[in-house]
């Protein structure tokens, strides 16, 4: 409940936080989000506070250490994908200046505003998440299927999928005419 009320859907422009959500959403595949939230602090510790430069340097010993860590999901493919994704993340950052600039360009730097009345109207994926997923895969990312990408978009506020009756919808509603640079300056 606290995650929904305080964090879910709030626009994120910090690269480390974006990497965190990418790793956590990938770890969540096939599991409940509450399972991952309950392990979030353990993930932060196990994955160097989600510093992509540090995670990119993880090797076989780190994979072995992580496979023995009961505080995270001990799935070798998910662990190895997080490490590989850190390396790909750094490449994207080199190319675009930041992962934030790369990711938010898919929505023109502004959150997409949806008007959903019930959970049945919330899709698992969209054409935008399909495009991001495809591009991430071309760049070497794994565990970034369209459903995982859409969940990431929701979590980091690229899309406002709070239901119309939810108090957070109005709080997070941002007109599409405002630029992300303006939003960042307003937050300071």
Q: Per-residue pLDDT tens for 52-63? A: 999 999 999 999
Work out the pLDDT band at 188, boundaries 50, 70, 90.
Answer: very low
pLDDT for 175: 58
Q: Which helix (H) or strand (E) holds 66?
A: helix 60-67
Q: At what angle do helices 76-96 and 60-67 cross, to 10 degrees?
A: 130
Q: Can you tell me whether residue 159 is helix, strand or coil?
A: strand
Torsion angles phi and psi, residue 159, rounded to 5: -140, 135
- Quickly tell me which residue has 């009961």 as its tokens: 70
pLDDT for 170: 80
pLDDT (tens digit per residue) in 29-75: 999 999 999 999 999 999 999 999 999 999 999 999 999 999 999 99
Alpha-helical (H) ranges within the chain are 2-6, 15-28, 33-38, 40-46, 52-56, 60-67, 76-96, 99-104, 127-138, 146-155, 167-172, 180-187
Q: Which helix (H) or strand (E) holds 160?
A: strand 159-160
Q: What is the dihedral of CA 124, 27, 111, 157, to 10 degrees?
A: 120
- Quickly tell me which residue has 């969209």 as its tokens: 126
Q: What is the pTM of this model?
A: 0.89
Catalytic residue among 20, 25, 102, 150: 25
Q: Which residue has the higher pLDDT, 5 or 73?
A: 73
pLDDT at 94 over 90: yes
144-171 per-residue burial string, b: 16 or more CB within 10 A, e: under 16: bbbbbbbbbbbbbbbbbbbeeebebbee
- Quickly tell me which residue has 């760049």 as its tokens: 139
* 33 classed as catalytic: yes
Nearest to 91 by CA among 125, 136, 134: 136
pLDDT for 142: 97
pLDDT (tens digit per residue) in 134-184: 999 999 999 999 999 999 999 999 999 988 899 888 888 865 544 444 444
């Amino acid at each position: 409940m606290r995650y929904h009320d305080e964090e879910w859907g709030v626009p994120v422009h910090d690269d480390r936080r974006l990497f965190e959500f990418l790793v956590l959403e990938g770890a969540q595949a096939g599991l409940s989000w509450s399972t991952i939230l309950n392990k979030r602090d353990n993930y932060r510790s196990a994955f160097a506070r989600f510093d992509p430069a540090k995670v990119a340097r993880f090797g076989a010993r780190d994979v072995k250490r992580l496979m023995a860590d009961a505080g995270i999901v001990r799935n070798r493919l998910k662990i190895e994908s997080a490490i590989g994704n850190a390396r790909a993340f750094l490449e994207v950052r080199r190319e675009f200046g930041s992962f934030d600039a790369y990711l938010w360009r898919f929505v023109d730097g502004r959150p997409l505003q949806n008007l959903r009345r019930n959970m049945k109207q919330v899709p698992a994926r969209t054409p935008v998440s399909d495009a991001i997923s495809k591009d991430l895969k071309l760049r070497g990312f794994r565990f970034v299927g369209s459903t995982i990408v859409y969940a990431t978009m929701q979590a980091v506020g690229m899309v406002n999928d709070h239901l119309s009756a939810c108090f957070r919808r109005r709080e997070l509603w941002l007109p599409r005419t405002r630029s992300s640079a303006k939003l960042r300056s307003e937050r300071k």
